[in-house]
C-alpha cells in the first residue's frame, strides 16, 4: 500500500530489537533496481540499518552492500531508495525502506508526504507492540490469579487438618 502511495516499486519494514538494536526483516515486497527486494535484503544483510539517523536517508544498493547517506540540504537528491526511521516514545522501533527501479529525485514534498505515512506506520506498529504487551500482562495476571487460588486451597487444607503433635488423640 505504501509503495503505491509513493509510486514506489517496492517497500520493506524492518523492526529493531529493544535490547540490542539489531534489525530484523518484518516484510518486503516489490523490486529494487529491477531485482526482488526481499532477496536483495536477505543477500545484503541488515547491518546497514544500524547506520540510520533520526531523519530519512537515501539508500543505494551496490557490490559492497547497502549504503546510506544524508539527503542534500539544498537542491534535489537522487537515489533508488529512501530509508525512514520509525520512532515510538523516543525509541527507534523500526524502519521503512521505500525502493524504486531507477534513480529519482526527492524533493521536500516527497519527504513531507512520506513522513506522514511513516507516522501512520509507526502508530500501527506501536499499537501492535502495545497489544502484545497488553496480552503478555493479561497472561501474567492470569498466572498470578491461578497461583493465588492454589495457595488459598493449600491454606484451607492446612487449617482443616488436626493440630500436629497430638496424633489425633484426645486427652480428657
Q: Counting every residue, how long is the chain?
A: 172
Q: What is the CATH number of the domain that holds 107?
A: 3.30.450.40
The pLDDT value recorded for residue 1 is 47
Give pLDDT tens digits for 145-164.
888 888 888 888 877 766 65
Task: Please give the pLDDT value at position 171.
Answer: 52
Asked if the structure places residue 160 within a domain, the reply is no
Is pLDDT larger for residue 82 or for residue 73?
82
Please give the tally of structural domains in the chain: 1
Whole-structure pTM value = 0.68
**Is residue 68, in this structure, part of any structural domain at all?**
yes
Domain that holds residue 62: 2-129
In a domain, 158, yes or no: no
What would the pLDDT profile of 119-149 be if each residue is shown by its tens digit? 887 777 777 666 566 677 777 787 888 888 8
Nearest one of 114, 111, 112, 105 to 78, comparing CA atoms: 105
Note whether residue 118 is domain-resident.
yes
Q: Residue 24 above 70 pLDDT? A: yes
Amino acid at each position: 500500500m505504501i509503495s503505491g502511495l509513493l509510486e514506489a516499486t517496492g517497500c520493506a519494514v524492518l523492526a529493531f530489537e529493544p535490547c540490542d538494536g539489531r534489525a530484523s526483516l518484518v516484510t518486503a515486497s516489490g523490486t529494487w533496481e529491477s531485482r526482488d527486494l526481499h532477496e536483495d535484503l536477505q543477500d545484503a544483510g541488515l547491518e546497514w540499518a544500524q547506520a540510520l539517523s533520526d531523519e530519512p536517508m537515501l539508500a543505494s544498493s551496490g557490490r559492497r552492500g547497502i549504503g546510506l547517506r544524508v539527503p542534500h540540504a539544498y537542491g534535489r537528491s537522487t537515489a533508488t531508495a529512501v530509508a525512514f526511521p520509525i520512532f515510538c516514545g523516543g525509541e527507534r522501533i523500526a524502519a521503512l525502506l521505500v525502493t524504486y527501479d531507477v534513480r529519482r529525485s526527492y524533493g521536500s514534498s516527497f519527504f513531507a508526504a512520506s513522513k506522514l505515512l511513516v507516522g501512520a506506520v509507526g502508530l500501527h506498529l506501536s499499537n501492535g507492540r502495545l497489544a502484545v504487551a497488553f496480552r503478555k500482562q493479561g497472561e501474567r495476571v492470569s498466572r498470578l490469579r491461578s497461583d493465588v487460588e492454589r495457595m488459598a486451597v493449600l491454606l484451607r487444607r492446612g487449617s482443616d487438618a488436626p493440630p500436629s503433635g497430638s496424633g489425633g488423640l484426645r486427652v480428657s
